Structure 1
Amino acid sequence: MRTIAEINDKITRNCAVVWTVEELKARVAEIGVTQAAKQVDVITTGTFEPMESSGAIINLGHTDPPIKIRSCWLDGVSAYAGFGAVDLYLGATQVVEYSSTGEVLDLRTTNGTAREQRGGGHVIEDLIAGKSVQLRAIGQVTDCYPRASFDTTISRDTINQFYLYNPRNLYQNFIVGVNGGDRPLFTYLGPLQPRLGNAVYSNTGAISPLLNDPDLNLIGIGTRIFLGGGIGYVAWEGTQHFPLQKRLPNHTPVGPAATVALMGDAKQMDRKWVRGCYFKNYGPSLMLGVGVPLPVLQEEVVARCAVKDQDIVAPVVDFSIPRRVRPTFGLVSYAQLKSGRITIEGKPVRAAPLASMYLSNQVARELKQWIEAGTFTLTEAVAHLPMDRSFLPQDRWGSAIALE
């Protein structure tokens, strides 16, 4: 029906028809797939949820005399310094190691003061917001890098490169966490109450970007996206990318499947869409807004995007069993999850999302506005994401080292 070049021409002339994925689903219910496909050029999807496999690349610029940084902390949070002399990688889930007074914190505990509950995601948010961050660096002294230490404050405007490089974002479906045990559990899904006291899910279901392109025909390496309020790109397959997950006849997976690695200039981003967060007794993470445009190249695109919450399922997993493979209580639909209550073994269980459905739709709407204004055009993927990746666990026990 169309090409990306033709759609981009309409975008630059401000005459492209853009619908959010929610609008698309409503229109399909009214006029059907065929008529909707004739009318719309781009469908925008979005999500705002925790994405802990995220982080920032930072280049500080050289000091005088120069320093080859080998240990570094930003507001007490350790940043990896094992590559260029003044290149750093700050992970979103890295915990704070010392307080503003220099006191070393006990990393064996995760339930401390508000200051101790900060992590890499909070530092990334502060830098995006234009705030100053304390930097403490220790160098490896060499002939070309004679400086041994460096203490200063930095901000978004006093560093060179500052961009997010996120190894795993946008899970194509995920799990529902419950706790069948006798004590509360504190997990990456948040607190799970004992005896099936609650259920927590993180995916946004029928509005989630990758569930509306289940075969990854439109999303590939080089796809331009909305990332944290700025422009970003799909850089590669994400870690734990598992497109071979079992799928329903509508091609949606029945559990965690494809993922993508994303990158984008953090200096362009807005802290509204990049927020540090903290999970009690688990640790810090990052709430991130990501929007993906889907070009309507043919009618099948609309047919896939018309999928409804009742047609997508996720497994209910019991976290009380401390193993990699945990027992499940079967599958539930996202329609059931979004109703606020599911049934497990005849018992009603409260269900709540980690993702913000409201802000996820706001991401899709903001991306729609960018496209309608002609400030955001679409890109052709330079390569497809692989669809044949297996998931390889570490099942063999490693050898223990005896400490005398």
Structure 2
Amino acid sequence: MATERSIDEINAKIRRGTVRVLTAAELKAAVRAAGVTAVAAEVDVIATGTFEPMESSGAILNIGHTDPPIRLAKAWLNGVEAYCGFGAVDLYLGAAQMGESLDYGGGHVIAELVAGRSVRLRATGLPADCYPRRDYESQIQLAAINQAYLFNPRNVYQNFIVGVNGGDRPLYTYLGTLQPRLGNAVYASVGALSPLLNDALLRSVGIGTRIFLGGGTGYIAWEGTQHFPSQKRLPNGSPVGPAATLALIGDLKQMDPFWVRGCRFYNYGPSLMLGVGIPLPVTDETVVAAASLADGDLVAPVIDFSIPRRVRPTFGLVSYAQLKSGQITIEGQKVRTAPLASTAFSLRVAQVLKEWIASGRFELTQPVASLPAERPLLAQERPLLS
């Protein structure tokens, strides 16, 4: 008889302390040893994780009202501008927003706040009868402001690309520095460990799924921007390039600086390194089958960034097993590879999430709605003329 269990049944096991959890890496090893059916009968939850740059992230902060009151018109945190257009003392600080140089930006400020450090706030006001103040300066800390939460428009890409440079000068990109004449190849996903590559058809996650976010508890809030589940797929269901994405939300005050780190890409700009873990409830055998894919079963496209167009030439597909071997071959040339995401820290995210579930600290949630299974990826072809 096929194995079937509900999320309520799994949560009851979590509360009793009898839940059986494996990380994605452990699950794949177990399937190789015993097969999908046997593993599905024994495992209740698969813990997945990733630790990678996620520049489409940001923090919503409510600093509290001043005396006399101010309506923020412009604001800077450690010299990094935050957006003020949706409330008197509400801010949105983008992780990729630059400060006075490319080396420091919003991701660094967010990491400083999570680490408990003081951040300099400088603001100008838009005077009104109810908000007469024209400027304000202070030092703020996370504990001394009201709401502070990450609200990330696009995280946890389901697969991504491999960047190379077929030109004759270095290129400075969101994948880091690409050396000329195919001097290196940079990839951004942890492959078979990546959360959404363990749920390729998005059957186990949805809006309202509780997750590990930055060392605290968060939720899937919506589909992410550029969500493209209609990407071409291999017969095993996995996409051959960038596909689904997630919008995530979580309380910044719960987070751990170990899992929230500012970073920068040389001559490109700032970003945020973020740990995200997603539990996959084993409701039936199909969940285990979907999560059993190995790096050799998953591919990514090799894209030439030397052509400055939206659609760039490709050198074909390579597997994550090839990428993780340290080199790939492009048109007869051996090219060294390097990851942006950390395999070691991704494994650690999954392990921490596993421990949270096993200890009863973390229960699963039933999604309130599914993520869209079809969505076109639109582009700007030409400006509209009036």
User: What TM-score, normalized to structure 1?
Assistant: 0.94
Q: CA deviation at 1:374?
A: 0.1
Work out the CA distance in 1 between the residues paired with 2:335 and 2:79: 40
In 2, the alpha carbon distance for the partners of 1:162 and 1:305 equals 34
Q: Distance in 2 between matches of 1:207 and 1:281?
A: 30
Aligned amino acid, residue 310 of structure 2: R
Runs of 4+ in 1 over 3 A off after TM superposition: none
| Percent of pairs with identical residues | 68
Q: 2:31 aligned to 28, 35, 38, which one?
A: 28
1:295 correspondence with 2:281? yes
Q: Aligned partner of 1:331: which letter?
A: L
Question: Could you tell me which residue of structure 1 aligns to residue 190 of structure 2?
Answer: 204
1:152-203 per-residue CA deviation (whole Å, 9 max, x = no partner) reads 0000111000000000001000000000000000000000000000000001
Residue by residue over 1:128-160, the C-alpha shift from the partner in whole angstroms, topping out at 9 and shown as x without a partner, is 010000000000010000000000000011100
Cα gap change, 1:43/1:392 in structure 2, threshold over 3 Å: closer, same or farther? same
Quote the Cα distance in structure 2 between the aligned partners of 1:333 and 1:340. Answer: 12
Q: Does 1:185 pair with 2:171?
A: yes
State the distance in 1 between where 2:383 and 2:333 align: 37
Cα deviation for residue 304 of structure 1 reads 0.6
Letter in 1 for 2:14: I
Q: Which of 92, 98, 103 pairs up with 2:95?
A: 92
Hey, what does 1:51 align to over in structure 2?
54
Partner of 1:101: none
> Residue by residue, what CA displacement relative to the aligned partner does 1:333-356 show, whole Å, maximum 9, x if unpaired?
000000010000011000010000
Aligned residues: 383
Equivalent in the alignment of 2:138: 152
Q: Which residue of 2 aligns with 1:75?
A: 78
Q: Structure 2: which 5+ residue stretches go unaligned?
A: none
Cα displacement (A) at 1:388: 1.4
Distance (Å, rounded) in 2 between the aligned partners of 1:273 and 1:173: 21
Letter in 2 for 1:167: P
In structure 2, C-alpha distance between the alignment counterparts of 1:369 and 1:55, rounded to whole Å: 28
Q: Is the aligned partner of 1:129 residue 2:104?
A: no
1:195 aligns with 2:195: no
Q: Residues of 1 paired with 2:369 and 2:297: CA distance?
A: 29
1:247 to 227, 233, 241: 233
User: Which residue of structure 2 aligns with residue 234 of structure 1?
Assistant: 220
What is the DSSP-based 3-state SS (H/G/I as helix, E as strand, rest coil) of the residue aligned with 1:380?
Answer: coil
Could you tell me how far 1:123 is from its partner in structure 2?
Answer: 0.2
CA–CA distance in structure 2, aligned partners of residues 236 and 390 of structure 1: 16
Q: SS where residue 35 of structure 2 aligns?
A: helix
Once residues 356 and 205 of structure 2 are traced to their aligned partners in structure 1, the CA distance between those partners, rounded to angstroms, is 19
Q: Structure 1: 5+ residue runs without aligned partners?
A: 98-104, 111-116, 400-404
Rounded to whole Å, the distance in 2 between the matches of 1:118 and 1:84 is 26
Partner Cα separation in structure 2 for residue 33 and residue 244 of structure 1? 27
Name the aligned partner's letter for residue 27 of structure 2. Answer: L
d(CA) in 1 for partners of 2:185, 2:81: 33
RMSD of aligned Cα (Å): 1.0
Determine if the alignment matches structure 1 residue 12 to structure 2 residue 15: yes
- 1:251-290 correspondence runs (5 A): 251-290=237-276
Partners of 1:265 and 1:376 lie apart in 2 by 15
2:363 is aligned to: 377
Measured against aligned partners, the alpha-carbon deviations of 1:22-51 in whole angstroms (never above 9, x if no partner) come to 000001111111100111000000000000
Task: Determine the C-alpha separation between the residues in 1 that align with 2:60 and 2:164.
Answer: 35
What's the offset of the Cα at 1:387? 1.1
Could you say which residue in structure 1 is the equivalent of 2:350?
364
Q: Residue 64 of structure 1: which of 48, 67, 78 is its match?
A: 67
